[in-house]
């Protein structure tokens, strides 16, 4: 079914109330004028009481707002934040691309760009080294927070209490004998990461790999991503300090290009 140019799924197993709410958000995103409940009901073919309930729910969560003078609705601040978050993530990939290339050239190892999705890190881009013996992973795969360099960056520079949240959710996993799952030990490591500006995965996720990561900040001074160099441990061990300098520099330059003005 197509409602005012918006496709409504008929052959997919969906939650109807959620789909109706999303259709309303799509309509508001494509319509510059405010709209009332009855007008929206006519457009989408829902009853006014059903439309009002959906509007009430979206309003409570800030996805839409109501004009006190006209009682009509438009998109709200939460919808803006969701859209800006997506734009930021897309900007990170675009801005980071040349720095991933350069970092791989400098280190001779594979470089990844990661974002945090819930209680995991997700690789969203990479530059693979030409070295035939190398570390690699598919873009889109998730990695744990406790035993990867990018994961520990997100733990260290989160503005909330991500460490406690992740620990209580039971997501800390031991992948190798070096993996750390003890919260107090992780807290000590996080404090050190905040001081040095980078994190190390020393054979904690893969027994043959060492990774070095640093945080990427957006214009809002919050961590939006992390960049990491991942290599075979025997090649990385003697060069960790130099690689850390390169990784920190790349992260700082990406951050500046995203509008971050801090150190």
SS3 per residue for 148-171 = CHHHHHHHHHCCCCHHHHHHHHCC
pLDDT tops 70 at residue 158: yes
What number is the average pLDDT over the span 51-57? 94
Residue 27: burial class (beta carbons within 10 Å; 0-12, 13-18, 19+): middle
| Residue range 98-107, pLDDT digits in tens | 999 999 999 9
| Residue range 174-195, pLDDT digits in tens | 999 999 999 999 999 999 999 9
Question: What percentage of the chain carries pLDDT values higher than 70?
Answer: 92
Give pLDDT, residue 3. 42
Closest CA to 14 of 5, 23, 3, 25: 23
| Residue range 222-259, pLDDT digits in tens | 899 999 999 999 999 999 999 999 999 999 999 999 88
Instruction: Identify the structural domains of the chain with CATH numbers, from first to last.
Output: 2-75 (1.10.10.10), 85-257 (3.30.450.40)
Tokens for 95, please give them: 């801005």
Question: What's the Cα-to-Cα distance from 44 to each of 65, 67, 215, rounded to whole Å?
Answer: 19, 21, 44
| Residue range 191-213, pLDDT digits in tens | 999 999 999 999 999 999 999 99
Tokens for 143, please give them: 């990695």
pLDDT tops 50 at residue 6: no
Most confident stretch, 42-46, 115-119, 248-252:
248-252
Tally the C-alpha atoms within 13 A of residue 161's C-alpha that lie toward its C-beta. Answer: 6
Q: 100: which residues sit within 8 A by CB, 6+ positions away?
A: 111, 112, 113, 125, 126, 127, 227, 250
Closest CA to 55 of 70, 69, 41: 41
Q: Residue 13 — pLDDT band, cuts 50, 70, 90?
A: low
Q: Is 263 helix (H, G, I), strand (E, B) or coil?
A: coil
Please tell me the distance from the alpha carbon of residue 243 to that of residue 262, in angstroms, as a whole number.
Answer: 22
Q: Which residue has the higher pLDDT, 14 or 58?
A: 58
Give pLDDT, residue 144. 95
Give pLDDT, residue 96. 95
**Whole-model pTM?**
0.69
Q: Which residues pair with 230 in a beta bridge?
A: 110, 211
Give pLDDT, residue 117. 87
Q: Which residue has the higher pLDDT, 14 or 34?
A: 34
Please tell me the distance from the alpha carbon of residue 213 to that of residue 216, in angstroms, as a whole number.
Answer: 10
Give pLDDT, residue 221. 84
């Amino acid at each position: 079914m197509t409602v005012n140019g918006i496709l409504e799924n008929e052959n997919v197993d969906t939650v109807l109330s959620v789909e109706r709410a999303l259709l309303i958000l799509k309509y508001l995103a494509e319509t510059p004028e405010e709209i009332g409940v009855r007008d929206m009901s006519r457009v989408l073919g829902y009853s006014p009481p059903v439309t009002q309930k959906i509007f009430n729910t979206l309003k409570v969560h800030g996805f839409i707002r109501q004009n006190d003078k006209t009682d009509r609705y438009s998109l709200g601040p939460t919808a803006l934040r969701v859209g800006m978050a997506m734009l930021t993530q897309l900007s990170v990939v675009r801005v980071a691309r040349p720095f991933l290339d350069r970092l791989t050239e400098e280190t001779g190892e594979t470089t990844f760009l990661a974002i945090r999705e819930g209680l995991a890190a997700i690789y969203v881009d990479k530059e693979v080294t030409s070295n035939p013996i190398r570390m690699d992973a598919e873009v889109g795969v998730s990695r744990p927070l406790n035993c990867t360099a990018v994961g520990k960056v997100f733990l260290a520079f989160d503005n909330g209490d991500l460490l406690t949240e992740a620990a209580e959710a039971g997501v800390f996993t031991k992948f190798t004998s070096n993996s750390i799952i003890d919260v107090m030990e992780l807290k000590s490591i996080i404090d050190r990461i905040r001081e040095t500006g980078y994190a190390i995965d020393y054979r904690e996720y893969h027994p043959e790999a060492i990774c070095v990561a640093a945080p990427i900040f957006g214009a809002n001074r919050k961590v939006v991503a992390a960049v990491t160099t991942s290599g075979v441990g025997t090649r990385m061990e003697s060069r960790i300090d130099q690689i850390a300098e390169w990784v920190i520099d790349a992260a700082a330059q990406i951050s500046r290009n995203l509008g971050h003005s801090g150190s």
